Structure 1
Amino acid sequence: MGAVGLLYVGAVLFLNGLMLLGKVEPRAAAIFNLFVGALQVITPTLLIVFSPGDPAVILGASGLYLFGFTYLYVGINLLGGFDSTGVGYFSLFVAIMALGYSYANFQLLGDPGFGVIWLYWSFLWALFFVLLGLKRTQITRYTGWVTAIQGWVTAAIPAFMILTGSWRTTTLFAIILTVFGLVVFAVLWPLTRRGEPAGETSETQGTTRMEARTHRFRRT
């Protein structure tokens, strides 16, 4: 059941990445964020209820709430046109906790593949903190591309592999995944910085791009 939820985490990350890139309107993305957020709250609750004595299951399920609450928060924020600061600082909490879950996967669960994937997520949610909490709009395109790519690499593809019984986590796989992330996200940085506003925050420019689109829709 956790793999099913992870599959749709991939879908919502891909959609949110496209939203940050200006390809999907915020209200359209908001509805799907609510759907996946609800799924990612119901799923871990059921896992915990039906495996009350299994610490490994409970540990794994507890991390799903971080995603569920993020997507519910984002969906409500987009529909209500609220300030993004709350989502941003919650993302900082998620980024820090993701480091703990990475350690748990490496040391307690014996899953180096997901140990690296949690590091990916820590990096992504740190970007959300900078973009939405600190409102550094100059990283909007970069964050959009990282979000869309991670939707496939950290969620949709691993989930499908788990569902089909082909997931094999090894140290070599974890190393390949690490190298891929370092290379791709490093190369994306200079490519996506072209055309972005240099060094200004949304306090000096108004709201973030996502907030601006949301407010525009509320007036129509």
Structure 2
Amino acid sequence: MGYAVLLMIGGTLLINGLAVLGYVQGNGAAIYNIFTGVLGTVTPFYLLTQVSGSDAAAFDTVLAVAPMWLFALTFLWVGINSLTGHTPTGVGWYCLWVVFAAVGFGLVNFLRFDAPREGIIWLNWAFLWGLFWLLLAQGRTRLATFTGWVAVIQSIWTVSAQAFMNMVGGWTTIPVWAFIVATAVTIVLALLLAGRAGVSEDAASDEVVQAGTHRMSAASA
């Protein structure tokens, strides 16, 4: 059940990334955000009701399941904000708190679970939530395109592919170095796409200015 929810989270992260890039309107992504948020809230509660005792195995289950709530509240908050028009600064500051939580869960995967694949992915998510903090709480709008592309790319390999590969039993066959390479490729590709978009916007602005200058010259003549 957890991997099915993770697959839905991948789709939601993709839609949100496209919304940041301007391909999807915020209210157009609201329903998907709220649906995944509710699903990601209910599922951990159900899974945790199956846990009994206070031994290490029980605590490990809690550590593995409870982090889903970080995504759930993020999506619920974003979806409700989109429908109500509330300022995103609150969810932006929440994202900063999630950065520290995500780093903590990354360390748990490295040190307690001996799961470097998941550890690397949690650090990637911490980076993404940090970008959302800068964008939503600090107003760093120049990071919007970069943040959007990071979200889109991460939605594919850190979430959707992870869920699918776990469901088919092929997750542990992927070498750890592939996740390090994927992290570097994500950042470089997002930078290139953001830079390309910036050049296109500058060119469009120049065309507008030149057109305006031409009209002014024609009018003066």
Letter of the 1:45 counterpart: F
State how far apart, in whole Å, the 2-side matches of 1:48 and 1:180 are: 32
- On the 8 A contact 2:38/2:76 being kept in 1, the answer is yes
- On the 8 A contact 2:153/2:186 being kept in 1, the answer is no
Cα deviation, 1:83-128, whole Å, max 9, x if unaligned, reads: 1110100000111110000000111112111000101100000000
Q: What 5-or-longer segments of structure 1 have no aligned partner?
A: 198-220
State how far apart, in whole Å, the 1-side matches of 2:88 and 2:198 are: 20
Greater RCO, CA 8 A, separation 6+? 1
Cα deviation, 1:150-172, whole Å, max 9, x if unaligned, reads: 111111111011111221167xx
Instruction: State the Cα distance separating 1:194 from its structure 2 match.
Output: 4.8
Partner of 1:43: helix, strand, or coil? helix
Instruction: State the Cα distance separating 1:184 from its structure 2 match.
Output: 3.0
- On the 8 A contact 1:138/1:196 being kept in 2, the answer is no
1:181 has 2:188 as partner:
no
- On the 8 A contact 2:95/2:129 being kept in 1, the answer is yes
What fraction of aligned residue pairs are identical, expressed as a percent? 39
**Which of 139, 156, 162 is the aligned partner of 1:135?**
139
Partner of 2:66: helix, strand, or coil? helix
- TM-score normalised to structure 2 length: 0.84
Bigger Rg, which one = 2
CA shift in 2, pair 1:85/1:99, >3 Å: same
Cα deviation, 1:117-144, whole Å, max 9, x if unaligned, reads: 1011000000000000101100111111
2:15 corresponds in structure 1 to: 15
Instruction: State the Cα distance separating 1:25 from its structure 2 match.
Output: 1.2
Instruction: State the Cα distance separating 1:178 from its structure 2 match.
Output: 1.4
- On the 8 A contact 2:109/2:115 being kept in 1, the answer is yes
- On the 8 A contact 1:112/1:169 being kept in 2, the answer is no
- The aligned runs of 1:200-211 (5 Å cut-off) are none
| Alignment: residue pair count | 195
Q: What 5-or-longer segments of structure 2 have no aligned partner?
A: 200-221
- On the 8 A contact 1:113/1:169 being kept in 2, the answer is no
State how far apart, in whole Å, the 2-side matches of 1:147 and 1:52 are: 36
1:148 corresponds in structure 2 to: 152
Partner of 1:109: helix, strand, or coil? coil
- On the 8 A contact 1:139/1:196 being kept in 2, the answer is no
